[in-house]
């Protein structure tokens, strides 16, 4: 099947099969939602007590870490999640500003 015989709602992924554009939109949107949910959930569920962080690491991985290492791990997780959320918020705001600028310039024409 060639691209000219394909329907307008299908896109070719590389040299592979035709995929509907609705499927791509759902996958892209799911990735965006996961990008917001994952850091937010980690920040919400992260315990304040370093001993609890050490216990959670031991339960999840079977590897015991010291309380001082757990404290450092907790701080690093907070910084990483906050940075990820700040990046996502900046990217979203930049897109909104571009849309606003584009709509105001087209309305003036």
Q: State pLDDT tens for residues 40-56.
A: 899 999 999 999 999 99
Distance separating alpha carbons of residues 36 and 89, to the nearest angstrom: 9
Cβ count within 10 A of residue 57? 16
The arithmetic mean of pLDDT across residues 69-77, rounded, is 95
Contact yes or no for 9/21 (Cβ under 8 A)? yes
Model confidence, pTM? 0.63
Contact yes or no for 38/47 (Cβ under 8 A)? no
Mean pLDDT lowest among 55-59, 75-79, 99-103? 99-103
Distance separating alpha carbons of residues 26 and 32, to the nearest angstrom: 10
- With a cut of 90, say whether residue 2 has pLDDT above it: no
Three-class secondary structure of residue 83 per DSSP: helix
pLDDT of residue 20: 63
């Amino acid at each position: 099947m060639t691209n000219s015989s394909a329907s307008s709602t299908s896109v070719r992924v590389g040299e592979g099969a035709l995929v509907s554009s609705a499927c791509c939109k759902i996958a892209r949107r799911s990735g965006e939602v996961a990008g917001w949910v994952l850091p937010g959930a980690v920040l919400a569920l992260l315990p304040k007590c370093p001993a609890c962080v050490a216990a959670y690491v031991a339960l999840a991985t079977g590897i015991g870490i010291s309380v001082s290492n757990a404290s450092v791990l907790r701080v690093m997780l907070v910084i990483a999640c906050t940075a990820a959320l700040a990046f996502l918020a900046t990217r979203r705001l930049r897109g909104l500003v571009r849309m606003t600028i584009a709509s105001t310039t087209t309305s003036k024409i």
